[in-house]
């Protein structure tokens, strides 16, 4: 008979019954058709065997047992991570429909009343093993798919990171004295975002995903400098009024370049949206006197408000063709003086209260020489 054939791999069955004659009868029946069989004469022994390797592929469990009945055994099997997915067939002399309902509601895969009929037992066993085999196959396929999705996401993240850094370094080649400015400002922004993520006014915006995207896009804040002529970008002295007008266009040049790149893709990417915000508005001021659009207070995107503090602090403590670096303490005082006029007060407070961490970042990524 077709139902008498075991599945490939000789599945292991665990029979649980307090009556030796039942264990013997069921064990012989299942061994005769090729199944491997393990027996337990109590609920506690069954739980121990269920967790041992090799674990059973299916459990045939008597309901009425002294000490720990089948319902309790099934409940404990389902609560344990190692055994919760093992299918269980209840074997019982209780023939009332309500008993069967209770068994199935408790999580049993099937319910067979005694005295058992060999053909019924073998058919039900084979059916449940086929179901388990299919579930195991789906689980394995899902695991493979999840691993592949995770691998591709990681690869995409690396590609994004490398692409962003390449573009940022392209801008840096036009202004070689900025050195590790990209690394420092990226780290400052990341730290500020983490600190403000605990603030009730920023908690909903500064989610871990947002902070990751923000940190990834931060290096593009000055990408627009690629479009500024050398005689202005590298000028060692103070810019004329006309030159300063041209210098300020790097914000719009940067956001426009990112916007053009984004038009080549079907769906907007969050990190490019943040990159555009930072590039376009990181020179805006809290009091509305910044550029290019004269935005004020919370009209300035949060990403740009964070970069404003990071960028100015790093510019103050770094050497440029037109100036010597300031000591960090002096830069701190300048940032503090800009609280509420140049900089967002909450962002400024986070910077000042954790100033030593920003100095540590500056030292870690200091320029060579």
- Give the pLDDT score at 193: 95
User: Is residue 265 over pLDDT 80?
Assistant: no
Q: Is 288 left (phi over 0), alpha (psi -120 to 50) or beta?
A: left
Name the residue among 124, 130, 129 with its Cα closest to residue 110.
124
Report which of residues 97 and 251 the model is more confident about: 251
Per-residue buried b or exposed e for 289-325, using 16+ beta carbons within 10 Å of the residue's own CB: ebbeeebeeeebbbbbbbbbbbbbbbbbbbeeeeeeb
Q: Which of 162-166, 275-279, 327-331 has the lowest mean pLDDT?
A: 162-166
Q: What is the pLDDT of residues 121-133, one digit of tens each?
A: 999 999 999 988 8
- Give the pLDDT score at 278: 93
User: Regarding the domain with residue range 2-144, which homologous superfamily does it belong to in the CATH classification?
Assistant: Response regulator (3.40.50.2300)
- Give the pLDDT score at 12: 94
In the chain, pLDDT over 70 holds for what percent of residues?
88
Q: Which of 151-165, 196-210, 224-238 has the lowest mean pLDDT?
A: 151-165
Confidence class of residue 142 from pLDDT cuts 50, 70 and 90? confident
Q: Is 52 left (phi over 0), alpha (psi -120 to 50) or beta?
A: beta
- Give the pLDDT score at 3: 47
Q: What is the pLDDT of residues 162-212, one digit of tens each?
A: 666 666 666 666 665 555 888 899 999 999 999 999 888 898 899 998 998
- Give the pLDDT score at 196: 94
Size (the chain), residues: 369
Name the residue among 215, 145, 225, 185 with its Cα closest to residue 367.
185
Name the residue among 308, 146, 155 with its Cα closest to residue 221.
308
- Give the pLDDT score at 5: 53
Q: Is the peptide bond before 292 cis (omega within 30 degrees of 0)?
A: yes
**Strand 58-62 with 12-16, pairing:** parallel
User: Regarding the domain with residue range 175-364, which homologous superfamily does it belong to in the CATH classification?
Assistant: Hypothetical protein af1432 (1.10.3210.10)
Name the residue among 99, 92, 95 with its Cα closest to residue 19.
92
Q: Which of 43-47, 262-266, 331-335 has the lowest mean pLDDT?
A: 262-266
- Give the pLDDT score at 59: 95
Confidence class of residue 270 from pLDDT cuts 50, 70 and 90? confident
User: Is residue 367 over pLDDT 90?
Assistant: no
The overall average pLDDT reported for the chain is 87
What is the helix (H) or strand (E) element at residue 121, kind and residue range?
Answer: helix 118-174
| Structural domain spans, the chain | 2-144, 175-364
Confidence class of residue 2 from pLDDT cuts 50, 70 and 90? very low
- Give the pLDDT score at 93: 76
pTM for the structure as a whole:
0.60
User: Is residue 262 over pLDDT 80?
Assistant: no
Instruction: Tell me what the mean pLDDT of segment 137-148 comes to.
Output: 83
Report which of residues 3 and 188 the model is more confident about: 188
């Amino acid at each position: 008979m077709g139902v008498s054939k075991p599945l490939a791999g000789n599945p292991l069955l665990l029979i649980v019954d307090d009556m030796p004659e039942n264990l013997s009868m069921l064990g012989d029946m299942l061994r005769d058709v090729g199944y491997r069989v393990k027996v337990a004469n109590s609920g506690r022994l069954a739980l121990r065997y269920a967790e041992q390797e090799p674990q059973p592929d299916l459990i045939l469990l008597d309901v009425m047992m002294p000490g720990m009945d089948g319902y309790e055994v099934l409940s404990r099997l389902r609560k344990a991570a190692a055994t919760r997915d093992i299918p269980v067939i209840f074997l019982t002399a209780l023939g009332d429909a309500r008993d069967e309902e209770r068994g199935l509601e408790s999580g049993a895969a099937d319910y067979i009343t005694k005295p058992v009929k060999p053909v019924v037992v073998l058919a039900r066993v084979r059916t449940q093993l086929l179901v388990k085999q299919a579930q195991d196959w789906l689980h394995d396929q899902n695991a493979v798919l999840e691993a592949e999705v995770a691998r591709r996401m990681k690869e995409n993240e690396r590609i994004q990171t490398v692409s962003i850094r390449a573009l940022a370094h392209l801008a840096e080649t036009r202004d070689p004295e900025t050195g590790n400015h990209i690394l420092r400002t990226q780290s400052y922004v990341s730290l500020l975002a983490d600190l403000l993520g605990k603030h009730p006014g920023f908690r909903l915006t500064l989610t871990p995903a947002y902070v990751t995207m923000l940190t990834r896009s931060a290096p593009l804040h000055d990408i627009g400098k690629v479009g500024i002529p050398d005689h202005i970008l590298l000028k060692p002295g103070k810019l004329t009024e006309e030159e300063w007008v041209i210098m300020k266009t790097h914000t719009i040049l940067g956001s426009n370049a990112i916007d053009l790149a984004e038009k080549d893709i079907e769906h907007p990417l969050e990190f490019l949206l943040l990159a555009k915000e930072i590039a376009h508005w990181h020179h805006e001021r809290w009091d509305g006197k910044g550029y290019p659009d004269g935005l004020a207070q919370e009209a300035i995107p949060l990403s740009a408000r964070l970069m404003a503090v990071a960028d100015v602090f790093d510019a103050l403590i770094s050497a440029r063709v037109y100036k010597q670096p300031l000591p960090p303490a002096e830069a701190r005082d300048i940032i503090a003086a800009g609280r509420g006029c140049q900089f967002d007060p909450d962002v400024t407070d986070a910077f000042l209260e954790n100033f030593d961490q920003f100095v540590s970042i500056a030292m870690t990524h200091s320029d060579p020489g």
